[in-house]
């Protein structure tokens, strides 16, 4: 009806900025920008893209064989290269026994490491960018249809790189630099991911009983 502005659903009700990948965060920001400018048709289009991309990504679950294949590819590509890196995110938890769904693979490294990853995994790179939220470089890869993100975790006030906490674990005969669960717990407290905090706390509590 002329003169009546269409209502627009709240993106925050479906996907929070913290949960979205930077590509989806930009779609969300653009959607709200269009809303402010009264460009409702384009706003609805961008909002829909956000929902579709987010829903599709969240529907993809990495099973352990998928994680194994991807890690084996990565380890093979950087074999004999002396770099500092560690696994983080849900995959880091899963490989240490926590029951959690894994939708993508997250790797933290330093400036030298990301340069090595960039060259070694160049055939898989979809996007090479600078992330404003962490003020650092990020590589977005597609390996076997799954998303892998490699971040240059610079030293910051929150101390999120935690490279001094790295512990190598053996999982399915692969040696993986991981962030031990007590340190992962602290990591998630720092970034205020309460769901992950509770998950790790419950796992560690049960583990202490056995």
Specify the DSSP class assigned to residue 33: H
- At the top level of CATH, the class of 64-209 is alpha beta
Give me the residue label for tokens 């029951």.
99
With H, G, I as helix, E, B as strand and everything else as coil, classify residue 143.
strand
Predicted confidence at residue 40, as pLDDT, reads 47
What distances in angstroms separate CA 10 from CA 48, 49, 79, 150, one per listed residue?
11, 14, 46, 30
| Contact yes or no for 90/100 (Cβ under 8 A) | yes
Predicted confidence at residue 30, as pLDDT, reads 54
Structure tokens at 49: 């893209």
pLDDT per residue, tens digit, the chain (210 aa), is 444 344 333 333 333 344 444 445 555 555 555 445 444 454 556 555 555 555 555 557 899 999 999 999 999 999 999 999 999 999 999 999 999 999 999 999 999 999 999 999 999 999 999 988 878 899 999 999 999 999 999 887 688 999 999 999 999 999 999 999 999 999 999 999 999 999 999 999 998 875
| Contact yes or no for 87/95 (Cβ under 8 A) | yes
Which helix (H) or strand (E) element contains residue 183? helix 181-190
Predicted confidence at residue 7, as pLDDT, reads 39
Predicted confidence at residue 4, as pLDDT, reads 39
pTM over 0.75: no
Q: What is the rounded distance in angstroms from the CA atom of residue 48 to the CA atom of residue 56?
A: 12
Q: What is the rounded distance in angstroms from the CA atom of residue 125 to the CA atom of residue 149?
A: 9
Q: Which residues pair with 149 in a beta bridge?
A: 106, 140
Which helix (H) or strand (E) element contains residue 48? helix 40-59
Q: What is the rounded distance in angstroms from the CA atom of residue 157 to the CA atom of residue 42?
A: 38
Predicted confidence at residue 21, as pLDDT, reads 47
């Amino acid at each position: 009806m002329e003169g009546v502005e269409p209502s627009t659903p709240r993106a925050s009700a479906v996907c929070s900025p913290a949960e979205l990948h930077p590509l989806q965060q930009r779609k969300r920001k653009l959607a709200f920008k269009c809303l402010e400018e009264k460009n409702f048709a384009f706003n609805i289009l961008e909002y829909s893209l956000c929902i579709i991309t987010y829903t599709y990504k969240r529907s993809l679950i990495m099973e352990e064989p998928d994680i194994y294949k991807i890690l084996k590819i990565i380890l093979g590509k950087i074999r004999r290269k002396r770099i500092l890196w560690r696994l983080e995110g849900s995959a880091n938890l899963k490989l240490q026994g926590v029951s959690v769904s894994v939708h993508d693979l997250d790797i933290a490294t330093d400036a030298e490491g990301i340069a090595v990853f960039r060259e070694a995994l160049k055939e898989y790179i979809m996007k090479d960018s600078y992330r404003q939220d962490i003020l650092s470089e990020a590589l977005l890869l597609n390996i076997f249809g799954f998303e892998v993100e490699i971040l240059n975790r610079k030293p910051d006030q929150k101390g999120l790189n935690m490279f001094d906490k790295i512990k190598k674990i053996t999982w399915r005969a692969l040696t993986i630099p991981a962030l031990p669960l007590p340190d992962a717990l602290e990591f998630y407290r720092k970034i205020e991911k309460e769901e992950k905090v509770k998950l790790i706390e419950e796992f560690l509590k049960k583990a202490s009983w056995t």
